[in-house]
Amino acid sequence: MAAKKIRSEKIEKSRFNLYLKKASDFYQTMISSYAQNNWNSVGLSAVHCVISATDALLTYKSGIRSASQKHSDIINLLKSHVDAPRTSEYSGHLSRVG
């Protein structure tokens, strides 16, 4: 059986900073929500923070970002497009967030 194709889009590698900025914005929202005991917002912001950070990494390393509606698909994109010693370990962390 052929591997499922995960929807992604090509993006100029130099644009990684857009996704890094989004990750930073979500992180700040998460911290602010935490201070206000707004737990639903903390959780949602955390998930979007790691997705945006992963999109930044994918853009920087491979010139792609996830276009899938399933958050879990980004893990497989990371494993298949980022060749680094600890990618598998970090993708495991990512799978526990979302």
pLDDT at 2 over 50: no
pLDDT at 1: 43
Question: Using an 8 Å Cβ cutoff, are 53 and 65 in contact?
Answer: no
User: Is residue 20 domain-resident?
Assistant: yes
Structure-token match 């698909």, residue found: 73
User: Is residue 10 domain-resident?
Assistant: no
Q: Find the domain containing 55 and state its range.
A: 15-97
- Look over the chain and give the mean of its residue pLDDT values, rounded to a whole number: 92
pLDDT at 94 over 70: yes
23-61 core/surface letters (b: 16 or more CB in 10 A; e: else): beebbebbeebeeeeeeeebeebbebbbbbbbbbbbbbb
Band of residue 98 on the pLDDT scale cut at 50, 70, 90: low
User: Is residue 1 domain-resident?
Assistant: no
User: Is residue 90 domain-resident?
Assistant: yes
Around Cβ 73, how many Cβ atoms within 10 Å?
A: 16
**Count of structural domains within the chain:** 1
